Structure 1
């Protein structure tokens, strides 16, 4: 069985969704028969990396809300993260364009380590406050998975990997995906947002028993918290 996941490495709900989905997958009896495919997405392709701003300052600027309001809006998100096992550190999050990190995910995907790479990139961005647009940082992350500095440098300069990122984004657009995370189970059932573990468990069971190869339409099971391309998180 196949599960496709569209995600942006700078999307907090993608991190939460990954954790909740993995909890459901661990409980799923047939988890050894589930193939998880990570796909690239960019919430703001035109965003410029700016290390002088943190997450709160960036959102205050693009939304036009005062900082205290932005921070208050994140209280539920921070608690939701804690419930999923994540200690978000938004004070230290660097405003970083995610395209290079998506190229690194594509590289790791070819080596069978996309899931591990997603996890490390999320941790680097949301917990350690790393600039995921910095090649040196990406080399440090890649080396944790056994990749060499030379391999990572070639990866973030690869036209082929850049094309794969853009292909994923185009595929998402053609499917009408405007927010992430977005999960597609066996090309039939779609789950939008960082859903709770129980819902992921239900969809895993449902897609396992009801999948039909002749039905290519994606049915949205439920919509939950996500980040959208207009900047809403």
Structure 2
């Protein structure tokens, strides 16, 4: 028999799995929009990030700026690519981000993803994901280089030497590949991609209201309410 004075158990947190890439400008924008939507949600949300490489064949040291990479990758002129970056930069500013495409080092992100898994194993995945996105898009740091990643990890309180050891040994490469395999199984071919409770998928940097609506819907389902009851 339960204690009559005990409070009812709090609703379980809604699990949200997010596939993203450190080099994806929409992923940082989508992160901010999701956070805004979740902030207005009356419940708990548990977020877990998963690895996705948009351009796994990108070299560690790409010779050229971001506009030149985008032009090559998308088959555009450099002028068209720069226009796209200017547009994305404006959207980033609208959610409080200061993208610096001129300072950006376009690079292979597999080591950065391994560092996120390193942090995840130590309970600090969300913080590391945020640090790496900011380092890439706002601070112009070269995230393809182990020494730079180790510096960022040390700033987050990790043992720098151990991070170097882990990255050089590809300790978490299998975890990165497992995330990518799961994305393929789900049919995910672009990021950011948000999966709510393992069954509702939302693609792209949607408006905060969209994320809030999905959270409300999933919470109602978990509570056994109908859509009519939710609307009242």
Confirm or deny a common fold (TM above 0.5).
Answer: yes
TM-score normalised to structure 2 length: 0.86
RMSD (CA atoms): 1.7
CA deviation vs aligned residue, 1:54-90 (integer Å, no higher than 9, x gap):
2111112233322211111223211111111111111
1:147 offset after TM fit, Å? 0.3
Q: Secondary structure at the match of 1:53?
A: coil
1:8 offset after TM fit, Å? 0.5
1:27 aligns with 2:51: no
Unaligned runs of 5+ in 2: 1-13, 224-232
Alpha-carbon distance between aligned partners in 1 of 2:70 and 2:55, rounded to the nearest angstrom: 12
1:209 offset after TM fit, Å? 1.2
CA contact (8 A) 2:112 2:132 kept: yes
TM-score normalised to structure 1 length: 0.86
1:46 offset after TM fit, Å? 1.3
1:117 maps to what in 2? 128
Q: Secondary structure at the match of 2:98?
A: coil
1:215 maps to what in 2? none
The alignment covers a number of residue pairs equal to 211
Higher strand share: 1
Which one of the candidate residues 25, 43, 49 is aligned to 1:12? 25
1:132 aligns with 2:143: yes
1:71 maps to what in 2? 82
CA contact (8 A) 1:101 1:132 kept: yes
1:51 offset after TM fit, Å? 4.7
CA contact (8 A) 2:56 2:110 kept: yes
Which one of the candidate residues 92, 103, 108 is aligned to 2:103? 92
* Segment of structure 1 superposing worse, 45-54 or 6-15: 45-54
Unaligned runs of 5+ in 1: 213-233
1:160 offset after TM fit, Å? 4.1
Q: Which has the larger radius of gyration?
A: 2
Counting only pairs closer than 5 Å after superposition, residues 73-222 of structure 1 correspond to structure 2 as 73-211=84-222
